[in-house]
């Protein structure tokens, strides 16, 4: 479901398809002054019912209104301002996402007051630095863009902007917690769960513990995480020798040897990344996957040539190198080198929407074939030293990135590779080193994503403890906050949704009976994981956690835990995949579908109000947890999940004709969600978000079908439940960043654009073709 920005460095406004920055050359017929007035008068009844034509269109000194003359941008905007004379002052989320109001040097004197008001309200921004393009013509689509922003700011009409209508009060009052990227229902529930876990840890730490017990490990790890004085006293010392070994490397092979020693000692440091998970072609056993050289930021941050992003990241890297012992000049040189190096990697890597596409990430190689990819280094030696040489094949996940990595792993790039290796080690261990690393990361987040404030030392210690002690803490959490009865109730609910989904598939008019039978089989064999695992894992059984007073440290604890996880991964290679294992903690506020297991997972953390509230109306719960359940089932049949069969194997189970029709429907979904404005100048990427959009559409169709079977269902309550769980606020910087990496549409888009496909919404709220939420029947999209 909802994703967040990278923990290492620590998902909207309308329905127009045109970003505000795209006003340079209008392709559609431009409007006349009379047409602008007619359009505005068709909507003012809901916002300013006393405004008439003469209030919007004013003539010259002689009363000439020139209605047939093409309208200029400045004229259209002034007329818009007159149609919305009582625009609210932006507060909360609106104010947060406007950023600095635009100012313009090409606005005539007579319009400056009105344009200033519209700019402060976030209704208008320019085509270039300091320019509005006042004399440019305006199309209907461009006028709608401005108008929809005004509607969103008003937030008073469910037929024009349902998301804002339901959530306006919350959005206006919204704040973002210190050190947080965003706020919303997910954040609120996570904060509540964090408070519960913090209380659990505090109770454990306050009591005497038996050495080697679960309680002792939790208490001592937490105590070490709290002890910033000891960490500051250690400084860079825990990794100083390893940084020196990197500096001393005189060839790429020597550098690789040094990083292998670091990997052996710390369970981190290898330049080449490997992982073990189910074989996508035979998910019953585990296989070895290769990820090549990694980058810290997302691809777009390197390839967009955004000077501000480069400056911020280079500044962050410079700080890392200074903390690692480099002088200022050397640190700056190393930072520039790493950015240029990572940019080459990013340019050759997959686009984010392709990374989970099995037809693109599954590229098996024999050992001999894999070795041939890297003629300049001894990959056989690396595999042996990593303990992964038993693999009979290596699955290369990103061929382009792998090729580029091989080309860069040469002695001529030695200086850049050494700087890169040091940056990876510093950033990978900084969270358990001195406070200076925290401050550096927090400063980067503040500038890059608009994050304000910092979490307390206790909050940071709790977060780190729950991230590594999830098996221990999760068991207590489930016992206290998620009953066996709740688990059974949700499991029953999931089973009912699967039954409805079977009916929907069997009734499809575009799929053959052959493919339907296989799709139904996939549903019938789908695994359901609700609340918590049936058996609890003890991954830290053989790990010793030693307190500072007994000679330990947070760094040592972290290394011990990392080594245990690494050994568990190595031991699983080539073995049967454990399909009963849980990939997330039970207190995670999320849900997901795993195609390799053909399973849907609903941790206890999300099965609470407002997603699942026993006191709420059944229709409200249906729009919340019901929609979530159906959404996750739908992922089995999105553009990615549809490539796997009922056993979680990537095989072609479609007829050729059915798959071609499926692809055509996917293209319609891409187009439907593409270009929808998130914040002024930033639009939704339909190709990036297609998998989640398909799941939203399928989830809503299935949950509405269940709802329709109730007696006199309250559809308004259903849609309110749905819109409520997606309320969110974040900075303008964060919203823009998430639009480039998040496979989910921005939350406002996934509400407004999705419900616009369903007649129940139109009937519940009386939506007509005069309203902004209206989508013509022929333009609506559906797959499942």
In the chain, where are the structural domains located? 7-154, 236-433, 483-531+590-779
C-alpha 783/C-alpha 765 separation (Å) is: 24
Q: Per mean pLDDT, which range of 185-189, 447-451, 648-652 is the poorest?
A: 447-451
The helix or strand, by DSSP H or E, that contains position 288, with its residue range, turns out to be strand 282-292
Q: Which two tokens stand for residue 345?
A: 């990697």
Question: pLDDT at position 298, please?
Answer: 93
pLDDT digits (tens, 9 = 90+) for 286-326: 999 999 999 999 999 999 989 999 999 999 999 999 999 99
Question: pLDDT at position 61, please?
Answer: 65
At 264 the three-state DSSP class reads: helix
Residue percentage of the chain with pLDDT more than 90: 87
Q: Which two tokens stand for residue 368?
A: 């001999």
Q: What is the CATH number of domain 483-531+590-779?
A: 3.40.390.10
**DSSP character for 458?**
H
Q: Residue 616's pLDDT band (boundaries 50, 70, 90)?
A: confident
Comparison of pLDDT for 277 and 616, the residue scoring more: 277
Q: Is 5 a residue whose pLDDT tops 90?
A: no
Q: Per mean pLDDT, which range of 11-20, 578-587, 691-700 is the poorest?
A: 11-20
C-alpha 548/C-alpha 407 separation (Å) is: 45
C-alpha 1/C-alpha 5 separation (Å) is: 14
Question: pLDDT at position 102, please?
Answer: 81
Question: Quick check: do 236-433 and 483-531+590-779 share a fold?
Answer: no
Mean pLDDT of 650-654: 96
CB 200 within 8 A of CB 476: yes
CB 554 within 8 A of CB 432: yes
Residue percentage of the chain with pLDDT more than 70: 96
DSSP H helices in 212-306: 214-226, 228-234, 237-247, 252-266, 299-303
Q: Is 56 a residue whose pLDDT tops 90?
A: yes
Fold of the domain spanning 236-433: Neutral endopeptidase; domain 2 (1.10.1380)
Question: pLDDT at position 153, please?
Answer: 97
Q: Which residues pair with 72 in a beta bridge?
A: 137
Question: pLDDT at position 525, please?
Answer: 96
C-alpha 371/C-alpha 290 separation (Å) is: 12
pLDDT digits (tens, 9 = 90+) for 474-484: 999 999 999 88
**DSSP character for 687?**
T
CB 631 within 8 A of CB 348: no
Mean pLDDT of 97-114: 89
Q: Per mean pLDDT, which range of 379-383, 485-489, 702-706, 709-713 is the poorest?
A: 485-489
Q: Residue 338's pLDDT band (boundaries 50, 70, 90)?
A: very high
Q: Residue 18's pLDDT band (boundaries 50, 70, 90)?
A: very low
CB 179 within 8 A of CB 455: yes
Mean pLDDT of 384-394: 96
Please choose, from the candidates 171, 20, 195, 304, the residue with its C-alpha nearest in 3D space to the C-alpha of residue 730. Answer: 171
Q: What is the average pLDDT score of the chain?
A: 92
Mean pLDDT of 223-229: 97
DSSP H helices in 327-469: 328-348, 358-361, 367-373, 379-386, 399-408, 414-429, 435-449, 457-468
Residue 600: CB atoms within 10 A of its CB come to 25
Mean pLDDT of 657-675: 97
Phi and psi (nearest 5°) for 600? -115, 140
pLDDT digits (tens, 9 = 90+) for 484-537: 888 888 898 899 999 999 999 999 999 999 999 999 999 999 999 999 999 998
Q: Is 24 a residue whose pLDDT tops 60?
A: no
Q: Which two tokens stand for residue 377?
A: 């280094």
* Residue found by looking up tokens 């340019």 in the block: 347
CB 752 within 8 A of CB 162: yes
Question: pLDDT at position 126, please?
Answer: 66
Question: pLDDT at position 127, please?
Answer: 63
Residue 329: CB atoms within 10 A of its CB come to 8
End-to-end Cα, the chain, rounded Å: 19
Q: Is 468 a residue whose pLDDT tops 50?
A: yes
**DSSP character for 434?**
-
CB 402 within 8 A of CB 373: yes
Q: Residue 584's pLDDT band (boundaries 50, 70, 90)?
A: very high
At 250 the three-state DSSP class reads: coil
C-alpha 499/C-alpha 501 separation (Å) is: 5
Phi and psi (nearest 5°) for 274? -125, 155
| C-alpha distances in Å from residue 373, one per residue of 237, 365, 389 | 37, 10, 16
Comparison of pLDDT for 762 and 490, the residue scoring more: 762
pTM: 0.91
Q: Which two tokens stand for residue 407?
A: 């080309």
C-alpha 240/C-alpha 242 separation (Å) is: 5
Question: pLDDT at position 485, please?
Answer: 86
Q: Per mean pLDDT, which range of 87-91, 96-100, 667-671, 681-685 is the poorest?
A: 96-100
């Amino acid at each position: 479901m909802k994703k967040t920005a990278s923990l290492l460095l620590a998902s909207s406004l309308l329905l127009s398809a045109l970003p505000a920055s795209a006003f340079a050359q209008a392709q559609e017929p431009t409007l006349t002054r009379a047409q602008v007035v007619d359009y505005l008068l068709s909507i003012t009844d809901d916002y300013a019912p006393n405004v008439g034509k003469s209030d919007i269109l004013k003539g010259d000194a002689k009363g000439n209104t020139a209605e047939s003359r093409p309208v200029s941008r400045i004229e259209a905007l002034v007329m818009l301002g007159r149609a919305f004379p009582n625009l609210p002052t932006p507060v909360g989320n609106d104010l947060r996402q406007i950023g600095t109001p635009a100012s313009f040097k090409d606005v005539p004197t007579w319009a400056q007051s009105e344009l200033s008001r519209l700019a402060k309200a976030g209704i208008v921004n320019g085509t270039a630095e300091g320019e509005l393009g006042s004399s440019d013509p305006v199309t209907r689509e461009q006028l709608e863009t401005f108008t929809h922003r005004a509607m969103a700011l008003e937030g008073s009409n469910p037929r024009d902007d349902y998301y804002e209508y339901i959530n306006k009060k919350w959005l206006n009052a919204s704040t973002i917690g210190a050190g947080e990227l965003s706020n919303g229902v997910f954040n609120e529930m996570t904060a509540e769960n964090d408070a519960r876990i913090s209380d659990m840890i505090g109770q454990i730490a306050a009591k005497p513990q038996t050495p080697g017990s679960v309680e002792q490990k939790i208490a001592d790890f937490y105590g070490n995480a709290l002890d910033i004085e000891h960490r500051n006293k250690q400084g860079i010392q825990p990794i100083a020798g390893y940084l020196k070994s990197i500096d001393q490397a005189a060839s790429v092979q020597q550098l690789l040897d040094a990083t292998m020693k670091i990997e052996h000692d710390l369970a981190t440091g290898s330049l080449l990344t490997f992982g073990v998970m189910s074989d996508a072609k035979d998910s019953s056993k585990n296989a070895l996957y290769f990820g090549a050289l990694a980058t810290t930021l997302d691809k777009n941050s390197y390839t967009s040539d955004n000077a501000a992003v480069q400056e911020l990241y280079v500044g962050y890297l410079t700080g890392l190198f200074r903390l690692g012992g480099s002088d200022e000049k050397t640190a700056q040189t190393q930072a520039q080198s790493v950015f240029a190096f990572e940019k080459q990697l990013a340019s050759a890597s997959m686009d984010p929407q392709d990374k989970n596409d099995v037809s693109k990430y599954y590229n098996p190689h024999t050992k001999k074939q894999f070795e041939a990819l890297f003629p300049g280094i001894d990959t056989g030696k690396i595999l042996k030293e990593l303990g992964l040489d038993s693999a009979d094949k290596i699955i290369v996940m990103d061929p382009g990135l792998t090729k580029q990595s091989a080309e860069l792993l040469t002695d001529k790039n030695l200086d850049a590779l050494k700087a890169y290796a040091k940056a990876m080690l510093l950033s990978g261990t900084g969270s358990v080193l001195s406070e200076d690393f925290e401050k550096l990361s927090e400063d980067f987040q503040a500038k890059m994503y608009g994050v304000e404030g910092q979490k307390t030392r206790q909050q940071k210690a709790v977060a780190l403890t729950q991230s590594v002690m999830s098996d221990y803490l999760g068991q207590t959490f489930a016992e206290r906050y998620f009953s066996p009865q709740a688990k059974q109730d949700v499991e029953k609910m999931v089973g009912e949704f699967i039954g409805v989904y079977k009916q929907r598939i069997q009734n499809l008019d575009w799929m053959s009976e052959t493919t339907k039978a296989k799709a139904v089989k996939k549903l019938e064999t789908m695994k359901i994981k609700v609340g918590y695992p049936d058996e609890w894992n003890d991954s830290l059984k053989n790990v010793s956690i030693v307190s500072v007073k007994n000679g330990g440290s947070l760094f040592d604890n972290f290394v011990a835990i990392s080594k245990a996880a690494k050994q568990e991964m190595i031991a699983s290679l080539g073995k049967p995949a454990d399909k009963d294992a849980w990939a997330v903690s039970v207190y995670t506020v999320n849900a997901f579908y795993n195609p390799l297991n053909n399973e849907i997972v609903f941790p206890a953390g999300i099965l609470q109000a407002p997603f699942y509230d026993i006191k709420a109306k059944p229709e409200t719960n249906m729009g919340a947890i019901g929609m979530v359940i159906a959404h996750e089932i739908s992922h089995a049949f999105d553009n990615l999940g549809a490539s796997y069969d009922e056993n979680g194997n990537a095989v072609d189970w479609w007829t050729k004709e059915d798959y071609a029709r499926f692809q055509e429907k996917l293209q319609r979904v891409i187009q439907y969600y593409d270009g929808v404005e998130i914040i002024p100048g930033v639009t939704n990427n339909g190709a990036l978000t297609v998998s989640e959009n398909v799941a939203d559409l399928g989830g809503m169709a299935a949950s509405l079908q269940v709802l329709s079977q109730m007696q006199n269902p309250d559809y308004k309550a259903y849609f309110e439940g749905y819109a409520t769980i997606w309320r969110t606020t974040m900075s303008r910087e964060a919203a823009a960043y998430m639009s480039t990496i998040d496979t989910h549409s921005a939350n406002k888009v996934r509400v407004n654009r999705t419900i616009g496909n369903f007649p129940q919404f139109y009937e519940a709220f009386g939506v007509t073709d005069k309203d902004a939420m209206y989508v013509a029947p022929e333009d609506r999209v559906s797959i499942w």
